[in-house]
Amino acid sequence: MTATVPLRAEGVAPQATGPTLGARAVGGLLEPLIFIVIAMLVALAEYVVAGPIRDFPVSNFWLAFVLLALADAWTWPQSQTMMGTLTGQYIATTNGEAATPLVIAVRQLARFGVLYGVPVLALEFDLVWAVAIWLICGAIVWRTPGRRAPWDLVADTVPVTGIGAVGQVELPVLRSAADLQLDPRRTSQDAMAGRLMFLAGLVSVVISALIVWNIFREAWAFVAADEFSWGLLKGRGWFPRRGEFDVGTLLVGTLWVTGIAMLVAVPVGLGVAFYLSEYAPPRLRRFVKPLIETLASIPSVVIGFFAISFITPTVLSRLFDDIAFQSVLAAGVGVGVLTVPIIASISEDAMRAVPMELREASYGLGGRKVTTALRVVFPAALSGISAAIIVAISRAVGETMVVFIAAGLTGIFNTNPLDPGQTITGAMASLGAGTDEVAGSGIAFQSLYFLGAVLFTLTMLLNIVSDVIVRRFRQVY
């Protein structure tokens, strides 16, 4: 048994109310993004098939417009467009009938042309023309009664929030809440939203694939190059432009920086975590916690500057007489400052997750506060704490700017932390900073990707280890 349920009161002419401001905002953000994504996907396909594209064909965009206009006309139910299914908007003709697919196709094509085709034209010609066309369109909108959009004028349509006498839908008589699910307008909206969100989720997979593909392809090109031999990876130092790629130099530098950083960050970070989780009265906690967040929000370039303008001259030069202006030690301490908040916040979370009962049991047995903290809370939170330290190590290995500013970057093999040194990230940054000179000079430039592959693998392994530790040793209370 079915009954005819109009979405709007029967006989009422379509009202040009249009969607709400919020729905307009969603549409306004998503629609151009969809075009950019489609055009980029086409370009990526070309890139995978034919290699690097020197000149991005603008025709990709026109293709995207036509594709989406056709999809809008024939895919979506009930005279809706893709955005309409999200915003609850329908297209009606001016005499109050639901728009046919052909009318919708014309309207959408005109709409995409005006809204997005014009900026694409500007890419090819000049911004002045784009602005002029938009101004003319704006004037047309201004002059027409009801301020109708140019694309609605072209196709003679009106956007409405519901379709009246003509757009009646067959709906079952509602008996329970579940029957509401059968409303085709709402279910199509729902399905559309779900698909879009899944696509958004896939973006991160695409990014990962692109990272792995590009880095390892170029790294392979480095290893497979004619000038390359494995003997080059062992030498007097890291001098890519002279064809000397002693990776050992970089590994030693990275080890020093990471080790020094952990010497600084582990005690301080754990101290803060113990204080926040076990000792701090609530009032002080509210004061110390934002402080750690402040430290976390300081950009690494600023810490890099801090390392050579404060850490070396004010702190380290008092302890070590012969420290250089830029040194591995200063870079290590700077990276340590950066990683304190990581260790503090992850360890604190782990300690706070230890249930109160364990502490109470310890106190009940006569345990002191220090005993409870060190012998009960610490072991129970150990998996979280070690994960925190490993995440911090991974961050320290990958930290670039502090090293680039403060470590000095000489490629000479060096084990003295008081002298300038070079790390994996530092070497990558120096290669990257000189990108324009090295580009095309083949093997030196590709060593950048080789180092990237080493770094990517290293940090990925560390992250996996921390994940495994958390999962295997996590105690479920």
* 329-358 positions binding other proteins, by CB under 8 A: 337, 340, 344
Our CB check for other proteins shows the closer of 164 and 334 to be: 334
**Residues 120-159 within binding reach of other proteins (CB under 8 A):** 122-123, 127
385 contacts 350 by C-beta, under 8 angstroms = yes
Question: CA 301 to CA 286: how far, in whole Å?
Answer: 28
- List the one residue from 236, 242, 368, 471 that touches other proteins (CB under 8 A): 368
**Residues 256-275 within binding reach of other proteins (CB under 8 A):** 267-272, 274-275
Question: CA 411 to CA 36: how far, in whole Å?
Answer: 42
Our CB check for other proteins shows the closer of 76 and 449 to be: 449
Cβ-proximal residues to 54 (8 Å cutoff; 6+ apart), any chain: none
CB of 102 to other proteins, least distance (A): 29
Cβ-proximal residues to 400 (8 Å cutoff; 6+ apart), any chain: 300, 425, 426, 428, 429
Return the structure tokens found at 403: 């090293």
CB of 47 to other proteins, least distance (A): 5
**Residues 83-122 within binding reach of other proteins (CB under 8 A):** 122
Output the CA torsion sign for 213, 219, 224, 230: negative
**Does residue 405 interact with other proteins by CB under 8 A?**
yes
Phi-psi region of 239 (alpha: psi -120 to 50; beta: other; left: phi over 0): beta
Question: CA 264 to CA 262: how far, in whole Å?
Answer: 5
- List the one residue from 12, 67, 139, 301 that touches other proteins (CB under 8 A): 301
**Residues 25-54 within binding reach of other proteins (CB under 8 A):** 26, 29-30, 33, 40, 43-44, 47, 52-54
Q: Which residue carries 């970070």 as its tokens?
A: 269
256-288: burial string, b at 16+ Cβ within 10 Å, e else: bbbebbbebbbebbbebbbebbbebeeeeeeee
CB of 145 to other proteins, least distance (A): 33
Our CB check for other proteins shows the closer of 144 and 294 to be: 294
Number of residues forming the site for other proteins (CB under 8 A): 108
**Residues 310-329 within binding reach of other proteins (CB under 8 A):** 310, 325-326
**Residues 440-469 within binding reach of other proteins (CB under 8 A):** 448-449, 452, 455-456, 459-460, 462-463, 467
Return the structure tokens found at 410: 């000489």
- List the one residue from 1, 21, 55, 281 that touches other proteins (CB under 8 A): 55
Question: CA 334 to CA 300: how far, in whole Å?
Answer: 9
**Does residue 56 interact with other proteins by CB under 8 A?**
yes
CA atoms within 13 A of residue 99's CA, in its CB half-sphere: 30
**Does residue 297 interact with other proteins by CB under 8 A?**
yes
Q: Which residue carries 């990276």 as its tokens?
A: 335
> Could you write out the DSSP letters of every residue in 239-288?
EGGGTEE-HHHHHHHHHHHHHHHHHHHHHHHHHHHHIIIII--HHHHHHH
Of 168, 154, 236, 203, nearest to 34 (Cα)?
203
**Does residue 254 interact with other proteins by CB under 8 A?**
no
Our CB check for other proteins shows the closer of 148 and 289 to be: 289
- List the one residue from 147, 186, 236, 471 that touches other proteins (CB under 8 A): 186
Near other proteins by CB under 8 A, which window of 102-110, 150-158, 208-216, 242-250? 208-216
**Residues 412-431 within binding reach of other proteins (CB under 8 A):** 425, 428-429
**Does residue 433 interact with other proteins by CB under 8 A?**
yes
**Does residue 225 interact with other proteins by CB under 8 A?**
no
**Does residue 304 interact with other proteins by CB under 8 A?**
yes
**Does residue 295 interact with other proteins by CB under 8 A?**
yes
**Does residue 194 interact with other proteins by CB under 8 A?**
yes
Mapped onto helix, strand or coil, the DSSP state of residue 9 is coil
Our CB check for other proteins shows the closer of 102 and 127 to be: 127
Q: Which residue carries 């310890």 as its tokens?
A: 362
Near other proteins by CB under 8 A, which window of 22-30, 71-79, 240-248, 357-365? 22-30
CB of 425 to other proteins, least distance (A): 6
Our CB check for other proteins shows the closer of 200 and 361 to be: 200
Please give the helix or strand (H or E) that residue 224 lies within, else none.
helix 184-224
- List the one residue from 306, 381, 417, 421 that touches other proteins (CB under 8 A): 306
Output the CA torsion sign for 4, 7, 9, 13: negative
